[in-house]
Amino acid sequence: MNARAIHQNFLDKLRQERGNVESSLVLIPLIFLFLIAVELIVATNLRNSDFSLAQSDASSRAISGALTSSDRVIELNSPDSFTHMKLLITRRRHSLPQLVPGLVALLGGNSVVEVFGAAVMENLN
């Protein structure tokens, strides 16, 4: 086989492969959409786990009375003069991984999850 025949054979094979360009044009946005969906799932799961940890921290700190500098204590007014209640608010911040670079900035958001936990403090008499 000469070079011309090989070249012609290659061109014939290339012409028979219809749909390659269309599938590659669909594949790029599909991968982008998949990464956005995975990023939303990861962000939601991290927020839920951080919320669970913040609530657990609030409960254990409210019972033990060991507070940190980021905790807030809110005193609640009660109509009963013998009941003095305090509410403990804990805060957790966690940065999110970015699978699609620039997506958070494009949407005008923040790549940090901030959750709060709340618990009623026990009276230590």
pLDDT, tens digit, for every residue of 62-120?
Answer: 888 888 888 899 888 777 766 778 899 999 998 887 777 777 777 777 778 899 999 98
End-to-end CA separation in angstroms for the chain: 99
pLDDT, tens digit, for every residue of 50-76?
Answer: 999 999 999 998 888 888 888 899 888
Q: Tokens 């618990």 sit at which residue? A: 119
pLDDT, tens digit, for every residue of 36-49?
Answer: 888 889 888 989 99
Residue type, 109: G
